[in-house]
Structure 1
Amino acid sequence: MVGTKLFLVVLAFRLLNALLCQTAFVPDETWQSLEVSHKMVFGHGYLTWEWQKGIRGYTYPLIFAILYKYLQLLGMDWPYLLIRLPRLLHAVCAAIADVCLYKLAYKMYGRSVGMFALLCNISNWFTFYCVVRTLTNSLETTLGVISIYLLYHRSFTSGVVIAALSCMIRPTATVFWLPVIVLHLHWLRPNEKLICLLKLAVVGCCTMFWSAAVDRYFYAKWIFVQYRFLLFNVLEGKSAIFGTQPWHWYLSEGVPVILFSLLPSFLIGGLKVTNHKALYFVSLWYIMIHSMLRHKELRYIFPVVPFACIYAGYHLNSLWNRHKYTVYRCLVVLALASNIPMALYFSLVHHRGSLTVMDELRLGIDNHPSPSVLFLTPCYSTPYYSHIHRNVSMRMLTCWPFEKNNELEQFHNNPHQWLNSQYPSPEDLPTHLVMYNSLKPTLEQFLTDNHYNKISEMFYTQFVDEDGTGQYLQVYVKENTSYHQ
């Protein structure tokens, strides 16, 4: 009964978490999930270069495609549901993982530590910001917690099935699961090891067959995407084209940023515990291996955050109970509450314009007989057909990483020349333009000459980098074009 009440409370929190998440994080949360799912079901969408190269698998977007298909059959494929329901689905997975984390910490160190581990996880700003997003990293994180909980309770088969699903969706998850499985087998008796190895072989073969069959259907050829993914990103190191960081970046910046105020407690708690330290060392191993890769992102080490919360919870519990001193309890409250402003800011404000501009645009094109849209933004700055849900003419500046002098580069080298070459006649120009306010001074004369009027401006960020973005996203429409506000 207690477990049911706890799950309902956590579920309500995660559903609220999903509804409050109204900003964009990275392009992958749309372009490697919802955009692909939308094309699978409704026939119109945009597939990025990764899908042309065959380094992405269809199993993850298939989850949302099934959801979209049900909505289509029920006649409820409304844009709001298409956008929100996938995040709500992630919220349900996150709630299950939260309860599993509590039970895992409870079994390891007792009820109070379990509760503090749960508090650490639900208060962590990065978890709040990331866990409900439609990212493979988010699902890898929640599946990891659920699987470890099942393995801990000797439900080896269920745990391995979920772990295999995690590795199928994101192949780099094998970095985490390899030492976990090795340690688990090490603790078993010889006859139990053989049975577990057989189960591993069966689950592994079934998982690979499922992945290959799904990708065979959608790629129309046999393809092993997990190998291609690892070959491209790890063995060949081509992910470095998206940026490189020094080897210590996760230690000096990544981990301190995502753990924030929980970092001291994680380090101290991991050193103080005398038993069940395996997850502490596996987390360090995971960070160390990812540190060897040249391209690094915060979300890549997200899967270790829940386990870091167990050891942080252990330390915070000891502070809370230390002679009942008020000063220690204030430190505990501060460590947890200090995450709230960051969680709300990044979920409600930072990069909000990437989503709200699509809402504004959708309302506009719905009132135009033959709309067309041109995105003069860095590629993948906003969602696409998955948020418009209408088969209209849309174009963005392409930026394939292996394409020399791509459209994005051509445009920024000489915006007017590119526009004139692509649209030689004023009648060919799109009815709607989307761009950052930083581009307006450059195109002001073009906008005036072609009778474009700004009809909407959405806040994007207070921190403008030198990457072609701006503080605001703007929508322009040609004069005499019907637009609904």
Structure 2
Amino acid sequence: MEWIRPRLKFGNKPEEVKLRKRKSHLYSNKNKSPLDNGLLRVQIVVFSVVFRLINCFLVRTSFVPDEYWQSLEVSHRMVFNYGYLTWEWKAGIRGYSYPLLFAVIYKILHFINYDSVQLLIWVPRIFQALLAAFADVKFFFLIRTLDSSEVATWTFFCHLCSWFSWYCCTRTLTNSMETTLTCLALFYFPLPGSKTHNSKKYLTLVALAVVVRPTALIVWLPLLIYHFWKEDAKLRLITREVVPIGAATVVISTLIDCIFYGKWTMVQFNFLKFNIFHGVADFYGSHPWHWYFTQGFAVVIGPHLPLFLHGCTLACKRYKVLLVAVVWTLLVYSFLPHKEFRFIYPVLPFCMIFCGISLARLKAWRRAAAFMLVISNLAGALYTGLVHQRGTLDVMTHLQTLCDVHGFSSPPDILFLMPCHSTPFYNFVHCPLQMRFLECPPDLGEDGYVHEADRFYDDPLHWLRTSFPYKSSQPTHLVMFDVLEKEISVFLQTHHFVRTAEIFHTHFPEGRVGRSIFIYERN
């Protein structure tokens, strides 16, 4: 037992000293008393929950429309029988399993008569934050079983510092749930040196991730192949775990979709047919093949990038399966024309392991690196969470007050003259106001097809005059970005529309999106 406390004697080789230090770290983790381990677990759980709840309430901006239109808006319609379903739900390429989760929450709130608009907005977010906290705890204790407590601490530190995780993890996005389930599944995955391996649990979590978002299979494919290659009882793994879990998941998710669609619907097949074979995803924009390698990945990992690259040089062999998963995911998504930052979010926890190893090894520069990491990530997290693109949420809070206002000569009729799906919808007002927006379903094969939003922006004044030739048909409220005001000023003056509110949106206006949002009311 003399090697537990290595003493530097004359003649000791540096390699032997390093080996002894490494063994002492691992041995000290094993010799922790149950009381110490229990106290540590409580501390990590409490800290993670508090941290993610603060995270949740400090994210008050919009990211992408799917955060509302593919989850909360659908859930609102499922429970309260009004809400808008986008073309994806009419084409059957979205599954009801994820919105059903929030529909249950909405139904409980409605049952106990607490379905206020604020609770409908925040309770799903809080639920997502608690799931993220649970995944954080599992992630910490996974690294603690794989490596020293020092590496686990610094990996956990890097994970919590990530500005992109802060920005995304508490949102009601399928990508956020996919990342949370991936993090939980990794805890039970047979990584080299793992003592928490449980094939049934990790395969179940992976199956759930694929149900929530079919593209989760891209991230997990190299990991599944690695497990199959390493597994001795391959036939047992396939027949007793993979096939039963996969079949049960497909049957249950398909049953849920058939019930809510009211007909036989295979969502996973429809998703592939529309997005891959018909190329519908290209309709929402395309990027060059190298975008993830030259821009996307650097933005998502942020200031952690130097630590990640350094960590790869230190632990490439030990965690090569995770590194392969990261590179594989970037490569596969690079072949798809439509690219977004959130698509590669699920591999971010993998990257944090390499960042933690890097920080643990820096020694002399560790404090400076940690300080810079906190400052740079904190600035990005607070700005994107509290300032950038917040107007589209604030405007819905303003419009929600129309639900309780009486005395209008006619009921409020709101028209959003903005790029389609710029704002949330009924789940943010929770009353059946008359609301319309410029629709933009993709071209599904119609010759000469131009969607409504493009027709409007080609000639806004002409579109308004032809769409509302009579005063009786005109909306009572118009919502628009400031960049549109000048183009339709004649229509506004002619029909006595008066600006009643100006709401800040972003410091970086681009194209059809302006710096501020204006609300006009017909006088």
Judge which range, 263-272 or 134-143, deviates more.
263-272
What letter matches 1:389 in structure 2? H
Candidates 201, 210, 221, aligned match of 1:178: 221
Residues 113 and 314 of structure 1 are in contact (CA less than 8 Å); yes or no, is this contact kept in structure 2? yes
C-alpha distance in 2 between matches for 1:14 and 1:163: 23
The equivalent residue for 1:387 is 428
Unmatched segments (≥5 aa) in structure 1 = 480-485
Q: Could you say what secondary structure the match of 2:215 adopts?
A: helix
What letter matches 1:84 in structure 2? W
What letter matches 2:442 in structure 1? P
Residues 360 and 366 of structure 2 are in contact (CA less than 8 Å); yes or no, is this contact kept in structure 1? no
C-alpha distance in 1 between matches for 2:458 and 2:325: 47
Deviation per residue, 1:282-301 (Å, 9 max, x gap): 12111111111111100000
Residues 60 and 136 of structure 1 are in contact (CA less than 8 Å); yes or no, is this contact kept in structure 2? yes
Report the Cα offset of residue 193 of structure 1: 4.7
Candidates 207, 212, 217, aligned match of 1:164: 207
The equivalent residue for 1:483 is none
Report the Cα offset of residue 196 of structure 1: 5.0
Candidates 169, 180, 183, aligned match of 1:142: 180
The equivalent residue for 1:22 is 60
Report the Cα offset of residue 107 of structure 1: 1.7
Report the Cα offset of residue 406 of structure 1: 2.1
Q: Could you say what secondary structure the match of 1:286 adopts?
A: helix
C-alpha distance in 1 between matches for 2:265 and 2:237: 31
The equivalent residue for 1:371 is 412
Candidates 133, 157, 166, aligned match of 1:95: 133
1:442 aligns with 2:480: no
Residues 185 and 193 of structure 1 are in contact (CA less than 8 Å); yes or no, is this contact kept in structure 2? no
The equivalent residue for 1:344 is 382
Q: Structure 1 residues 416 and 457 mapped into 2: Cα distance closer, same or farther (>3 Å)?
A: same
Candidates 54, 62, 76, aligned match of 2:100: 62
1:257 aligns with 2:257: no
Residues 10 and 98 of structure 1 are in contact (CA less than 8 Å); yes or no, is this contact kept in structure 2? yes
Residues 109 and 314 of structure 1 are in contact (CA less than 8 Å); yes or no, is this contact kept in structure 2? no
Candidates 343, 359, 363, aligned match of 1:316: 359
Judge which range, 442-451 or 132-141, deviates more.
442-451
Q: Could you say what secondary structure the match of 2:428 adopts?
A: helix
Candidates 330, 338, 352, aligned match of 1:287: 330
C-alpha distance in 2 between matches for 1:436 and 1:252: 31
Candidates 134, 148, 157, aligned match of 1:110: 148
What letter matches 2:514 in structure 1? G
What letter matches 1:423 in structure 2? F
The equivalent residue for 1:414 is 459
Q: Structure 1 residues 137 and 315 mapped into 2: Cα distance closer, same or farther (>3 Å)?
A: same
Normalised TM-score (structure 1): 0.94
Report the Cα offset of residue 156 of structure 1: 1.3
Residues 280 and 442 of structure 2 are in contact (CA less than 8 Å); yes or no, is this contact kept in structure 1? no
Identity %: 39
Deviation per residue, 1:330-378 (Å, 9 max, x gap): 1232123311101000000011001000000111342045211111111
The equivalent residue for 2:117 is 79
C-alpha distance in 2 between matches for 1:366 and 1:448: 28
1:194 aligns with 2:236: yes
What letter matches 1:377 in structure 2? M
C-alpha distance in 1 between matches for 2:280 and 2:80: 32
Report the Cα offset of residue 111 of structure 1: 1.1
The equivalent residue for 1:482 is none
Report the Cα offset of residue 80 of structure 1: 0.5
1:400 aligns with 2:441: yes
Q: Could you say what secondary structure the match of 1:339 adopts?
A: helix
C-alpha distance in 2 between matches for 1:242 and 1:284: 25
The equivalent residue for 2:34 is none
Deviation per residue, 1:31-87 (Å, 9 max, x gap): 101111111110111111111111111111111111000011111111101111111
What letter matches 1:185 in structure 2? F
Normalised TM-score (structure 2): 0.88
Deviation per residue, 1:184-230 (Å, 9 max, x gap): 1222223x651454211001111001111011011111111111112
Judge which range, 272-281 or 144-153, deviates more.
272-281
Residues 434 and 475 of structure 1 are in contact (CA less than 8 Å); yes or no, is this contact kept in structure 2? yes
Candidates 312, 324, 332, aligned match of 1:270: 312
Residues 70 and 99 of structure 2 are in contact (CA less than 8 Å); yes or no, is this contact kept in structure 1? yes
C-alpha distance in 1 between matches for 2:142 and 2:274: 36
Residues 129 and 346 of structure 1 are in contact (CA less than 8 Å); yes or no, is this contact kept in structure 2? yes
Judge which range, 193-202 or 333-342, deviates more.
193-202
- The count of residues paired between Structure 1 and Structure 2 equals 472
Report the Cα offset of residue 328 of structure 1: 4.1
What's the RMSD between the two structures over aligned residues?
A: 1.4
C-alpha distance in 1 between matches for 2:224 and 2:305: 27
Query: Looking at CA atoms only, which structure, 1 or 2, has the larger radius of gyration?
Result: 2
Q: Could you say what secondary structure the match of 1:275 adopts?
A: coil
Candidates 268, 281, 293, aligned match of 1:239: 281
Report the Cα offset of residue 452 of structure 1: 1.6
Residues 108 and 276 of structure 1 are in contact (CA less than 8 Å); yes or no, is this contact kept in structure 2? no
Q: Could you say what secondary structure the match of 1:442 adopts?
A: coil
C-alpha distance in 1 between matches for 2:472 and 2:280: 42
Report the Cα offset of residue 136 of structure 1: 0.5
